[in-house]
Each structure stands twice: as C-alpha cells, then as structure tokens.
Chain A
Amino acid sequence: MKKRNIVTKLVTCFDEVLEVTNQRVVYWRKENALILSDLHIGKSAHFQRSGIPIPSSILAVDLSRLEELIHYFKAEQLIVVGDLFHACYNKDLDTFKVWLSSFKNLSIKLVKGNHDRLQNRIYEAFQIEVFSDFLQIDSLKFVHDFSVIQSDAFTISGHTHPGVLIKGKGKQRMKLPCYQVTKYQLILPAFSLFTGLNTKDAPRGCKNFGFTESAIFEL
C-alpha cells in the first residue's frame, strides 16, 4: 500500500492546541491521543445481512488507515466521539477485535453515538471505556452530537459527517470532507470512507477546513 501523505494544521481550542489532519483524525499531543468520530464498524456487514452486497474490504481499509495513523503519531489512546459501531453485533466486530488485539497499549474512550446500541458487556469485552453522554478532559468536552454550545468548555463532536461544497465559475462544484470550527466548537469529519457528506447543517459562522489526499486548507 502506498504511503499516505499526512498533512496537519494547528488549531487552538481555548487553551488547548490540536492538530487537525487531512486523514479524518485530530491529534492531541498533550494527551497523546487521536480524536475521531463515526467509524461505523459493522456497517458493511449490516448491509450484507439485509441483502445489499457491500464489499467487506471497506472495513479493512478503514482499520489499516487507523493503524497507520496510530503508528505515525505513536498515539496511546483513541477518543471516539460516537458511532464507533453501526448496528448489532456482526462479524465485522470480530475483525475489529482481532485488529485491536495487535495493540498492546492502546486505550479507547467512546462517547456513545446514536448508532452505538450494543450491550455494555460487549464494550467491556473490547475494553472500551464508555461515556453515555459526554466526556470532559480539561477544557475540552467530547459529545456525539452537540445540542447547546456552552461557553465554559470547548465542544468536540461528530455525527453530522460534515462536508463543504466548493463552487466556482462555470458551474464547477466539488464536495470535500471537512472540519467545522467555531470559537467554541469543532465538528469532526466521519472517519469511515463508507459515509456520505453533509454540506447543509453547518453551525453559524464556522470555518471549514476541507482536505484532500495531499492538503488541508481553510475554505
């Protein structure tokens, strides 16, 4: 597999500094953590069960991307802000389990998303620390989908699969995944490649950090 071109950009969130990447994860150097959202593990198998043939290699690619990022940043923890799993227990989760066992010192914190509906003992078996509403570390507050933004904490969320539509002269249009950042919040792009882009529900006055395989830029 060809080496990924990992590009980062520094973003200040209150008193914390985060590195947003063009690889759909944010690196938090202080905690040595990767922050990500919407992996939707089990989505392809869920589709297959319903008679819709979606290639399972989607998951393999997603996991190998994540693996590469963990090694690149030498991260010791993952903070997942929801939708780690897509549906009920299926064989994609076994694949994930095998993948997970190859890491010795990786801790996972999960803020539950609307798709995370597995029984608690399953999360325990995966040794995932689960937070049902939010997780706060210092001034950063991790939630799945933000409802109200408070000014006492910087909110990091996922859920919406944000994308940005770029329009040019002559009806040129292009959609790119992006991070949406305001003074008080940051919305992560979905990590899984088997997700669509939502270009509609952007928070008011947000900056969009769109990215491609080789670059990340403010739009």
Chain B
Amino acid sequence: MKEKGQKPFSFQVQTWERYHNNFSGMVIAPTGFGKTFSVFLGVVIDYLNHPENYKRGLKLIWISPLRSLAKDLAKAMSTAIEEIGLDWEVAVRNGDTPTNLRRKQERLMPDVLLTTPETLHLLFSQKKNSRWFKNVNCIAVDEWHELLGSKRGVITELAVARIRSLSPKLSTWGITATIGNLEEAKQVLIPNKEVKTTMIKAKEKKKIEIISVLPDEVEELSWAGHLGKKMSSKIIPIINAHNTTLIFTNTRNQSELWYQILIEEAPDLLGQIAIHHGSIDKKQRSFIEEAISEGILKAVVCTSSLDLGVDFKPVDCVIQIGSAKGIARFLQRAGRSGHSPFEISKMYAVPTHSLQLIEVAAVKEAVKQHEIEARYPYVLTYDILVQFLVTLAVGEGFKAQETFDLLINTHAFQWLTPEEFDWCIHFITQGGNTLKAYEEFHKVVLDEDGFYRVKSRRIAMMHRMNIGVIVGEVMLYVKYFSGGYIGMVEEFFISKLKKGEAFVIGGKVVVMKQIKDMTVLVKRSKSKKAITPSWLGGRLPLTSYLTHFLRLKLSDAITAKKRERELNFLHPLLKRQQEKSHIPKHDEFLTELIKTKDGFHLFMYPFEGRLVHEIMATLIAYRISKITPLTFTIAQNDYGFELLSDQEIPVNEENLTQIVSKENLMEDITASINASEMASRKFRDIAVIAGLVIQSQPGNRKSNKSLQSSSGLIFRVLNDHEPSNLLLKQAYNEVFDYELEKVRLHNAFQRISESTIILKRAKDFTPLSFPLKVDSLRGTISNEELGKRIERIQKQALKA
C-alpha cells in the first residue's frame, strides 16, 4: 500500500492495533476514507504476525446490506491481498451466486467471504454447516447503520450470535456512518459483556455544501404540491455545469415523472440521462451503474435505490428534489458526490413547495450542530425468532436450552421469557398453544436425542425459499413480447390496468398486452397518454430530529439574519402568515380555526411528521366528538393536520388546553384508532417472515396455489380462533411502536403541554394551512356503526 503512496489515516492504524489486541468494536468514518481497509487490513496484518491463530477455511466474514457492493469490494480486497503476497481466496456469496460456485464453496470455504445476513441464515439451514464456522476469526458488518433500524438488523444479530457460539474467540466489528446513538449501535452488535469493545472515530470530516435552488420570485413557488415541475428550468443549467449529476426523488413514481419532465425541457439530454429505481430490471440497473462509473452519463434520476452502493467517481453533484425527510438521508445523498476524501460534496436542494425551504434551512442548521438521527433497533420480533428456529431445525437441528441461552444473549431477545420461548417451540412443533387442534402439523419434530429437526424435505425446501425479512409487494416482471425485461411493477397497479392501456416504466412508454406466469407482457407504444405507476410505500415522515430544527427555524424565521438565504426568500410569505394568523415560536403551539364555504376547518401544527399527525388528528377528532358528536374529514402532512366538519367545531380558548392535554393519552388513542385494522397491515410482513404466508416470486411459474391465502385472512382467523398468538401480539406492538411512534407521540404531547397554546381565527387559508387543504391524503373518523356507515356511504355514492 505504502509503495502506492497511500498513507493510512490514523483511525485505520488505530483499528489495526485494537484488532491485534483482541478488541471488538465499531469504526465510524465518512464514506470515501477507506473504512473497509480499517477492519480488513486489521485481520490481514494480524494474520501476518500470528499465522498460528488462523486455520484453514473461513477467517473473515464480511456482511454488507447490499449485494451490489460485494463484487467491487471483493475485487479491492483481492488486489490488496495480491500486493501483499498472500494466497488468500476472497469470494462473494449471495442470491446472485451461481449454484456451481456455491457447491465449490461448500467443499472448501474461501478465506474471506462477502455475504448478506440472509445468505448466512441460508447457510445455517444446510446440513453440517457448523464445520464452516468453527475457526472464523472475525465477522465484520459493513454499513451497520443501514441494518440496525430494521428487521435485517435482528437477523444480523442472530447470525453473529450463532457464529460466536461456534467460534468463541471471534471478534466482531461494525463499520458505520455517524448516527445519533453510536453507543447503542455498538451494544446491539456486540452485546457480550465478556468481550472487550472499542469505538474508533475518524477525525477526518467530509465537507458538505448545501445550496438551495430558488425560483426568481417567491410567488412562482406554489404553497403546496409535490412535483415542483416549474423548477426544471433551474435544474438543467446545474446538470450542464457538472460532469455527472444524481437527481434524487422520493418515490419511484416521481422519478419516472421527472425523467419525462427533464427530457421535455432539454431534449438534447436524451441518451445522456438515465433513470434508476428499485423496480427497474436488475441487468439494466447494473448497466446504468456502470455507465455512471465510466462517466458516460450526464445525469441519473433516481430514488433511494442509489442511496447506498458502489462509489461513483465521476459524480460531482447531487440534486435533491423535495424533502429528503431526514438529516441522515440528506447527508447520505449529499455524500454521493465528490467522493474522494478531500473533495467537497455538493448538494442542490430543489423545493417543491415554499415551506420546504424552511426544511433546507433546518438541515443546514442541524449539519452545523452535528446533530443526526438515531436508528432504533427492533426487539422481541417473534416472527424472526420463529423463522430462525425453523432454520436451525432444517440445518443441524437445535436443542431448546442451548438455543434459549444463545437468544437471551442477543440484544433483540434479551427480554425473551421462557414462556414466550416455549410458545415459539409449540408454534413450530404443534402449531400453537391450542394443542389438539393441530394433529396433522409436524413442521418441526422433537427427536429422541433432544434435538428439534425438520423431517419433511418439502417443508425444508419451502422454508429455505422463505428465509429473510424483506417482504415485498407481490411484484410482476415487465417484459417485452419480443423478449427483454424492463422492470417490475406491483400486482396492485397492474390489476387496475386494462389490456391495451399504456404505462410508463423505466422512462419507456409501453402498452400492456397480456399477463402470464407472474409476468406482464408489453409492447412499445407511441401513446402520448400513459399512466405512471404509483408503487406503494415510500411515504416517509419527517424524522423527529429534523422537525426539531424545523420548529426552531420557523420560530425565528421572521427575524432571520441576512445569511439565511432560504428564510429571507420566504419573507413575504412568512409576513403574510404573521399578519393573517401567527408564526409559532419554538415554545408555542398554534391552532387555527377557519370557516370557508367547504365548512369549518381546524388546523393544528405540531411539526412532528406525517405519521404522528395522522394519529394526533384522529385523537383530537375523538376528543372533540366527545363534546359534540361530529364527523370529520382528516388531512395531514409533515407540518400539521386539518379536521374538517360541516358543523361548527366546538373548540375555544377555554377547552383547547384540555383537548390537547397529555392526560389519558394512550387510553384515548386506543379508543380512537382502529388498532386491529392497522395491526392487520403490520401482520403482512410478520406472516411472511414467520412462514404463515408463502410468497410467490415474480416470474415464477410454480406457485403453491392450494397454499395461498392472504395475511389479512390469517390475521382474522387467528384473531377469532387464537387471540393469544404471540405473532398477533407482535403486530399490535409494532403498530404502537412504529406506526404510532409511541415515544415520539408522548414527547410531542409533553412538549405541547409545556408550550403556550395559541388559538387564531382566520377568514381564509393561511400560508401554513393551505398545503393541508390541498393534500389529497384524507381519512375520516366516525363513531357511527357499520350498518349506518354503509347506508351513508351508499347514499353518497348514489349522489356521485
């Protein structure tokens, strides 16, 4: 390395030393500074010094969340090893690895294996798998921050725990970008008290420049809306001024639309601009990625699909369209440009409506103060536990006590009770606690030697197909009649499409011809009118960190300093808000009552993100309807929510404090929301992970038709027949923890209770309320009974 004129960074040297002294730990460094080589070379150097500590076979397991990273990483590692003159073999194993290579690896494992958490679990489901892991020296988890806050984090924890149990001298290292809860992140990955741990932070900082793209006049920017098409004329010059620009949008739908908009605005870009998102065919995606690396492309419109992954050297500019929803995401995306250590990452923020400019100001402030979001780990995910137990039973079989001990030594299952563990054992051996009911159920069998095993080949096979926690929508491949895959769309979207209708995918207009074997056959179309698919998901709320800064920025927006370009630009709008109503200071909570011809509106602005607002709106509606029974229409966005009624809303200065009080919070919430409907939605993933629903793969001809059922149906059945089922309990827990964001909700009401409550009455919409008025996401809260509701809906439908 040194010969090449590369001098190691001090955090790398530090990692090598600590690894050498048998530490486990975490390395925190910005991208582009050689994080990989901190841990990887640590292992190599230690081997060179103490070859006697290393045995034949697997020495280092390298887990990364993305398959696409593995190939390039393996290449870099192999080169380094060659230069050093070692005879180590580096290999990749994941879902894309061909069978013959896998068989070869199984005969003799490479010295370094780059893999994913799911693939490790798949290895656990093979016969005699423990021999591969007996002499592993180190397990490194790359991009740990990406895994931590998801269920994939839990399967990573389990994989590490099992490998540690087979190879007790193992060191565990996490490599992560900065997050708000680094200490916890380390604890989760290395929960073992007997292991020496360390935290190594790089001193090197990535310089980031955030530039907001402003229209010429504040009036040009709409108060609401989400596309910001008018800004396209401002984007083209930015693209032209740089080598390669990544243009991030928040949803696949928006990326398709923006691709069309840019081509329309600058037709000469055709051929130099590409589109990249998760539903575009894998081959085409890697083709685009290569083209970026080679610097052929001028711009790529993308989604979070390019948040992570291989470094693109030519990218020297990033444009974010709309809100990035969080500080970490904003920085992650900014970091995709100017990738080498001392270059500056340049990020242009394009607002899609005026209030988003305050968000940009808030992100800038957060960056200045080095504040960044925490990622909270999942705990007690029974679905994963059930899956893991079956995985072990398919592999070598497991003993109850040993496995329980392994589990309670992980972070995710440290609070697992013996009763819950027994329930899970019952669940996989007899189908649950209602014993007698499952005479034909023999998924896992207890053998006389005390091992739990899976006997049926069919069940083993079905389980292997189902390992992992990434549960997708049912997707169908999109393929030309003449051959050639374009991408994937959700069944949900296709089912609404009629034969011969045109739609846009991957920037191409095609017409649907036929659906066959989970594949949509299409033909190219010249049709001007085409639908852009709206893929589900992708409506993230603003993070609480960002909203905190948002409230601060808004608080002193009207008296902003000259340097705050965004706030100065917004001044006319902010002044109007102040005149018509009020701009809430950081210790104030604003409520607006507005009467229009549509009816009576109540607006509240907690600035807590969409999800929390949805729950708050339902709760406030419930509390108001306890004063006078009313039916409300609800709308919410990331800033606040609206209740609309055809009758006067009985809210005044006297009762408002009571209506937003934190007393009886959870009781009122439970009474106001339809928890079972929300839990049923959460149950979708749980049912698949726990093996209750068999997923069908896109393009797959063989679907287990007679075994197909929807998770909603199973949820209903279990609710009726086995209400004590732990997986149901988990679904409700997930609703409260993730959907309702219980902690955040509590904090929000705590904050409101400490704030000055301000009630303003306005004659027409204020700049803050207008976006809510036009927001299309509306729900209704109603206490009417089912029959009456149907009757009423029916009448409405007839009128329309």
Contact = CB atoms under 8 A, between A and B. Distances in A.
Contacts of A219: 794
A212 B691 contact: no
Contacts of B790: 166, 174, 210, 212, 217
Nearest to A166: B793
B571 interface: no
Contacts of B793: 166-169, 172, 174
Given A168-B796, A168-B797, A170-B633, A50 B437 contact: no
A52 B721 contact: no
Nearest to B714: A54
Interface string A74-86: 0000000000001
A203 interface: no
Contacts of A14: none
Chain B residues touching A, range:
35 or more
A212 B714 CA distance: 20
A87 interface: yes
Interface string A180-204: 0000000000000111100010000
A57 B391 CA distance: 28
Contacts of B437: 55-57
A210 B786 CA distance: 13
A171 to B, nearest CB: 6
A51 interface: yes
B440 interface: yes
A47 interface: yes
B787 A90 contact: no
Contact of A196 (B438, B634, B713): B713
Contact of A171 (B427, B780, B792, B794): B780
B718 interface: yes
Nearest to A87: B706
B462 A50 contact: yes
B647 interface: no
Interface in B770-786: 777-780, 786
Interface string A55-82: 1111001000000000000000000000
A144 B458 CA distance: 31
B439 A51 contact: no
Residue of A45, A61, A170, A174 with highest tally of chain B CB at under 10 A: A170
A147 interface: no
B441 A48 contact: yes
Interface in B721-766: 721-722
Contacts of A214: 787
B417 interface: no
Contacts of B338: none
Given A57-B437, A91-B440, A200-B495, A52 B794 contact: no
Contacts, number: 117
A86 B708 CA distance: 12
A60 to B, nearest CB: 9
B792 A55 contact: no
B233 interface: no
Interface in B702-719: 704, 706-707, 709-710, 712-714, 717-718
A217 B791 CA distance: 9
B710 to A, nearest CB: 5
A115 interface: yes
A146 B783 CA distance: 41
A219 B789 CA distance: 13
A52 to B, nearest CB: 6
A55 B777 CA distance: 37
A115 B409 CA distance: 48
Contacts of B797: 166-168
Given A166-B790, A169-B633, A51 B780 contact: no
B152 to A, nearest CB: 24
B586 to A, nearest CB: 33
Interface in B476-520: 495
A51 B443 contact: yes
Contacts of B787: 212, 214-215
A86 B706 contact: yes
Interface string B429-442: 01110100111111
Contacts of A58: 717, 721
A170 B780 contact: yes
Contacts of A52: 691-692, 694, 707
A56 B438 contact: yes
Contact of A90 (B440, B710, B712): B440
B780 A47 contact: no
Contacts of A215: 787
B717 A51 contact: no
A55 to B, nearest CB: 4
Contacts of B718: 55
A174 B793 CA distance: 10
Contact of B707 (A47, A90, A115, A217): A47
A215 B792 CA distance: 15
Contacts of B709: 47, 194, 196
A33 B355 CA distance: 67
Given A51-B441, A171-B779, 14 more contacts: A51-B691, A52-B694, A53-B427, A53-B438, A55-B721, A55-B722, A56-B437, A57-B434, A115-B706, A166-B790, A166-B794, A172-B789, A194-B717, A217-B790
Interface of B: 427, 430-432, 434, 437-443, 456, 458-459, 462-463, 495, 633-634, 691-692, 694, 704, 706-707, 709-710, 712-714, 717-718, 720-722, 777-780, 786-787, 789-790, 792-794, 796-797
26 contacts: A46-B706, A49-B442, A50-B459, A51-B462, A52-B691, A53-B427, A53-B430, A53-B432, A53-B441, A55-B437, A87-B706, A91-B439, A168-B789, A168-B792, A168-B793, A168-B797, A169-B780, A170-B633, A170-B778, A171-B777, A171-B778, A172-B780, A193-B717, A194-B713, A194-B717, A212-B786
Interface of A: 45-58, 61, 86-87, 90-91, 115, 166-172, 174, 193-196, 200, 210, 212, 214-215, 217, 219
